């Protein structure tokens, strides 16, 4: 099982432009053997909570037509994708939502970020359930950025038989999670941890990618580097 941890600089508030970029990354990663492509937190709009709060046009639905190119890309290369954006919940507010699009272009599951941070509390609805899905017999767990500061989500994932823990995040250059969170979640729970982080500036600060993965021993096994858009490939087979 090859997973691609993708990174790029989202265009603030431009869903169509970001979808085009993400579709290209899915196709490129699929050609290189990726069965799953993971994108950063709020990559559909950029990490722009203030803009999301004031512009309802940035709120998406699970079956939103604007996501059509992503579904097409998944079908074209027979790969799944974890795409994250402000997707409406039953409360009428958007969640910080990971939609998992399957290799057939259909929705496998959704996960709404449970642990909101800072301004997110004023804009988004928190999720209440863990995110899980299976692909090719491998069980995956979903988490989003601040979720990962808490050990319990990864502990539950391991207890429920997940092999791979997928983290869609926005981490600025001062964030210590690369050393103190993601490798620890991997090592403490014998999980593969795959991180997708953004490039560029946004409301969280300046971000320098370093998308990639850690093995169950906590060692880095893939790193997309701090500057270039693209992806890192990780073999998460056991």
pLDDT averaged over every residue in the chain: 97
Give the model's pLDDT for residue 76. Answer: 98
Q: How far is CA 129 from CA 20, 112, 141, 208, in A?
A: 30, 8, 11, 30
Give the model's pLDDT for residue 149. Answer: 97
Q: Three-state SS string across 136-165, please? A: CCEEEEEEEHHHHHCCHHHHHHHHCCCCEE
- Check: pTM over 0.95? Answer yes or no: yes
Give the model's pLDDT for residue 203. Answer: 95
pLDDT digits (tens, 9 = 90+) for 112-156: 999 999 999 999 999 999 999 999 999 999 999 999 999 999 999
pLDDT digits (tens, 9 = 90+) for 168-224: 999 999 999 999 999 999 999 999 999 999 999 999 999 999 999 999 999 999 999
Give the model's pLDDT for residue 119. Answer: 97
Task: Name the helix (H) or strand (E) containing 10.
Answer: none
d(Cα 72, Cα 89) in Å, to the nearest integer?
24
Check whether 33 has a pLDDT greater than 80: yes
Give the model's pLDDT for residue 237. Answer: 74
Check whether 238 has a pLDDT greater than 90: no
Residue 69: strand, helix, or coil: helix
d(Cα 120, Cα 141) in Å, to the nearest integer?
22
Check whether 40 has a pLDDT greater than 80: yes
Could you list the beta-strand ranges (E) of the chain. 2-7, 36-38, 80-88, 94-101, 107-112, 131-135, 138-144, 164-168, 192-196, 199-202, 205-208, 212-214, 220-223, 230-235
Give the model's confidence band at 106: pLDDT under 50 very low, under 70 low, under 90 confident, else very high: very high
Phi-psi region of 42 (alpha: psi -120 to 50; beta: other; left: phi over 0): left
β-pairing, 164-168 with 138-144? Answer: parallel
Give the model's pLDDT for residue 131. Answer: 97
Taking residue 152's Cβ as centre, other Cβ atoms within 10 Å add up to 11
150: Cβ contacts below 8 Å, ≥ 6 apart: 115
- The CA-based diameter of the chain, rounded to the nearest angstrom, is 45
Residue 53: strand, helix, or coil: helix
d(Cα 92, Cα 111) in Å, to the nearest integer?
16
- The label of the residue with tokens 């999301």 reads 52
Q: What percent of the chain shows pLDDT beyond 90?
A: 99
């Amino acid at each position: 099982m090859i997973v691609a941890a993708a990174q790029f600089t989202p265009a603030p508030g431009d869903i169509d432009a970001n979808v085009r970029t993400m579709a290209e990354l899915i196709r490129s990663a699929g050609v290189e053997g990726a069965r799953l492509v993971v994108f950063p937190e709020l990559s559909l709009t950029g990490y722009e909570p203030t803009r999301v709060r004031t512009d309802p046009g940035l709120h998406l639905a699970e079956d939103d037509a604007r996501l059509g190119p992503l579904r097409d890309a998944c079908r074209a290369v027979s790969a799944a994708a974890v795409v994250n954006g402000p997707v409406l919940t039953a409360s009428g507010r958007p969640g910080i939502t990971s939609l998992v699009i399957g290799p057939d272009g259909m929705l496998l599951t959704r996960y709404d970020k449970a642990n909101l941070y800072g301004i997110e509390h004023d804009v988004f609805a928190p999720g209440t359930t863990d995110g899980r899905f299976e692909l090719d017999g491998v069980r995956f767990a979903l988490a989003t950025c601040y979720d990962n500061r808490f050990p319990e989500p990864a502990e539950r994932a391991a207890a429920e038989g997940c092999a791979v823990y997928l983290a869609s995040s926005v981490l600025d250059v001062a964030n210590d999670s690369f050393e103190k969170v993601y490798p620890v979640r991997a090592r403490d729970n014998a999980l593969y941890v795959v991180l997708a982080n953004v490039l560029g500036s946004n409301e969280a600060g300046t971000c320098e990618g370093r998308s990639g993965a850690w093995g169950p021993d906590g060692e880095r096994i893939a790193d997309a580097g701090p500057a270039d858009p693209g992806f890192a490939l990780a073999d998460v087979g056991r």
